[in-house]
Amino acid sequence: MNFDRITFELDKLEGKPTIRGLRITVETVVRLVAGGWTFDEILSDYPDLEREDIKQALEYAAASTNVHFYRLREPA
């Protein structure tokens, strides 16, 4: 997946992933959605964001938690 709206700048917000170089982190967006905010509420309070930014922040968060578990041996 191409995350062209997610940026990293070591000198900005400790290098956390942000939206298009803005001082709005992916974490902030994900926490707002998790807190029950609608896309329209987020866009109203953060006018620099676009609907696609929110979608991509959620996709990035999902992709970054893609963890695989491997069973080392079968139970006896």
Task: List domains and CATH numbers for the chain.
Answer: 6-65 (1.10.10.10)
Global confidence as pTM: 0.83
Q: Which residue has the higher pLDDT, 1 or 42?
A: 42
Helices in the chain by DSSP H: which ranges? 26-34, 39-45, 51-64
Task: Find how far residue 40's CA is from the centre of its chain.
Answer: 17
16-70 pLDDT, tens per residue?
A: 999 999 999 999 999 999 999 999 999 999 999 999 999 999 999 999 987 666 6
76: confidence class by pLDDT, cuts 50, 70, 90: low
Helix, strand, coil fractions of the chain, as percent rounded to 5 = 45, 5, 50
26 and 17 in contact (C-beta within 8 Å)?
Answer: yes
Instruction: Return the pLDDT at 68.
Output: 66
